[in-house]
């Protein structure tokens, strides 16, 4: 219809000019006009066709394509909506900063998946390295058939550089497992706003992205676990997620005690009234919907400016600031049990959270009753990481079998040993 109407108007326009030229005594203009009349029609027709094609692309083809993609992926349901009654999701946020962290991140993922119900392929001999298959010796088929469908694990990666994005994408594409999603967030613009923050943390001001999670993530995500990458799980992470159920109405931030005495000295320089151990930011439970109901960004920025005005720099980065906030606004704090963040930094005091670290065989031998608590999550926040350890063999027999309080260096050795076992475990060992 659009083409016919436009063509009719064109004919009327041309006929008017034709009649005018016929009335002129000098008919040269009329002949010239008739010579070009056909060409003008062809030109205008071509322009009309081009306009229609362009209109179709922008208003028909592209919108339909987008709509189809959304429908196929999510069946019309917001993929970030955690209130979907048909499916429970747990959300894990991880700050990723470069290729050095790839191996640690991959081992962290393996430790998470290993303890999730029905993920580990105990039916494959190639996966039965070290003692990985010990918990499934008698009932592997039962475990294999009991696939974890009770919840989906959703990873949210905060990316600091473009190169980090491609590296992480390659890694995550190697994981072919069910009930797992991952999303990337490019944080370059946020980092540019941190130029004024002076931090002695090895990662500079980048960890301040943790304080921006409520802003960075979609508003439909209400709760998240935040993990550093130098961590291994020793139980199902759903247990940590369930601590949200214990939050009181005013509590919005879950965090475990700092286990290095040095941190107390750090905080007394920032606040002369400081008391207590303080808290470690390696593991966080953030109730985002509660945080969003406050002037959170203004709060942490003001605290940061005051701390910098007093000292000129921050020693542990965003951990300094979060501790200052929780020290003043204690009603926001939920204290996570210490075994959910066993820290292995140089100088950590094992007496602040005494644990042993028994193998499954030893636990079964004791009917799972131990004298000393077992670690649920181990955080090697030491400046010397496992890949920096040159020793090819680290004996852990005594550590594996002794239900006694382990010293910091014993926990460190055990972490390195377990980490190396995970690096040898292929991604195909999980489903």
Query: How far apart (Å, rounded) are the C-alpha atoms in residues 233 and 414?
Result: 13
Helix H or strand E encompassing 393:
none
- pLDDT at res. 234: 98
pLDDT of res. 334: 99
In the block, tokens 């094992």 appear at 350
Task: Choose among 139, 152, 211, 198: nearest CA to 179.
Answer: 152
How many Å apart are CA 308 and CA 322, to the nearest integer?
Answer: 14
Q: Rounded to an integer, what distance in angstroms lies between the CA atom of residue 410 and that of residue 256? A: 21
For residues 107 and 25, what is the distance between their CA atoms, to the nearest angstrom?
93
Say what the pLDDT of residue 189 is: 94
The predicted structure's pLDDT at residue 50: 62
Phi, psi values for residue 248, rounded to 5°: -80, 175
Helices (H) and strands (E) in the chain, counts: 16, 10
Q: Which of 126, 145, 331, 135 is nearest to 236 (CA)?
A: 135
Q: Hey, what domains does the chain have and what are their CATH numbers? A: 2-17+28-67 (no CATH), 88-338 (3.90.550.10), 352-429 (no CATH)
CA distance linking residue 406 with residue 411, whole number of Å: 6
**Percent of the chain clearing pLDDT 70 (strictly above):** 77
Q: Indicate the pTM of the whole model.
A: 0.80
pLDDT, one tens digit for every residue, the chain (431 residues)? 444 444 454 454 445 445 544 444 444 444 444 544 545 555 566 666 666 555 443 333 322 222 222 222 223 333 344 444 446 899 999 999 876 789 999 999 999 999 998 899 999 999 999 999 999 887 786 655 555 546 899 999 999 988 888 889 999 999 999 999 999 999 999 999 999 999 998 889 999 999 999 999 999 999 999 999 999 999 999 999 999 999 999 999 999 999 999 999 999 999 999 999 999 999 999 999 999 999 999 999 999 999 999 999 999 999 999 999 999 999 999 999 999 999 999 999 999 999 999 999 999 999 999 999 999 999 999 999 999 998 888 999 999 999 999 999 999 999 999 999 999 999 999 99
Cβ neighbour number for residue 244 with a 10 Å cutoff: 18
Q: Return the sign of the alpha-carbon dihedral for residues 154, 416, 101, 169.
A: negative
The pair phi, psi for residue 128, each rounded to 5°, is -85, 55
**DSSP assignments along 238-289, one per residue:** HHHHGGGGG--TT--EEEEEP--THHHHHHHHH-TT--S--EEEEEEEEEHH
- What is the model's pLDDT at position 161? 87
How far is 153 from 169, CA to CA, in rounded Å?
17
């Amino acid at each position: 219809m659009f083409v016919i109407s436009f063509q009719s108007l064109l004919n009327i326009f041309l006929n008017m000019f034709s009649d005018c030229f016929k009335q002129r005594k000098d008919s040269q203009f009329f002949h010239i006009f008739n010579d070009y009349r056909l060409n003008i029609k062809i030109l205008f027709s071509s322009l009309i066709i081009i306009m229609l094609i362009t209109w179709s692309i922008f208003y028909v083809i592209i919108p339909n394509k987008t709509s189809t993609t959304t429908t196929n992926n999510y069946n019309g349901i917001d993929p970030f909506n955690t209130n979907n009654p048909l499916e429970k999701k747990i959300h894990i946020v991880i700050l990723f900063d470069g290729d050095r962290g790839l191996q640690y991140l991959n081992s962290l993922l393996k430790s998470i998946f290993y303890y999730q119900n029905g993920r580990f392929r105990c039916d494959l001999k190639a996966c039965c390295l070290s003692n990985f298959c010990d918990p499934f010796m008698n009932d592997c088929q039962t475990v294999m058939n009991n696939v974890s469908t009770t919840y989906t694990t959703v990873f949210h990666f905060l990316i600091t550089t473009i190169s980090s994005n491609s590296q992480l994408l390659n890694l995550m594409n190697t994981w072919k497992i069910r009930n797992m999603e991952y999303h990337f967030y490019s944080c370059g613009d946020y980092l540019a706003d941190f130029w004024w923050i002076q931090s002695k943390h090895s990662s500079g001001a980048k960890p301040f992205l943790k304080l921006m999670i409520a802003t960075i993530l979609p508003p439909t995500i209400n709760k998240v676990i935040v993990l550093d990458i130098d961590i291994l799980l020793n139980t199902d992470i759903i247990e940590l997620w369930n601590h949200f159920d214990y939050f009181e109405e005013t509590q919005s931030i879950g965090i475990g005690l700092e286990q290095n005495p040095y941190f107390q000295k750090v905080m007394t320089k920032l606040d002369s009234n400081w008391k207590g151990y303080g808290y470690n930011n390696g593991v966080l439970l953030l109730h985002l919907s509660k945080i969003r109901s406050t002037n959170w960004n203004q709060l942490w920025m003001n605290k940061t400016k005051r701390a910098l005005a007093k000292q000129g720099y921050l020693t542990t980065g965003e951990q300094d600031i979060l501790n200052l906030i929780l020290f003043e606004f204690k009603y926001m704090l939920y204290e996570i049990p210490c075994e959910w963040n066993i820290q292995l930094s140089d100088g950590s005091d094992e007496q602040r959270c005494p644990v042993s670290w028994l193998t499954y065989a030893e636990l079964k031998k004791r009917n799972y009753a131990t004298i000393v608590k077992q670690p649920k999550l181990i955080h090697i926040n030491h400046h010397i990481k496992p890949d920096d350890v040159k020793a090819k063999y680290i004996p852990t027999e005594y550590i594996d079998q002794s239900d006694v309080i382990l010293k910091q260096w014993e926990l460190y050795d055990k972490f390195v040993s377990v980490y190396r076992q995970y690096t040898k475990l292929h991604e195909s060992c999980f489903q």
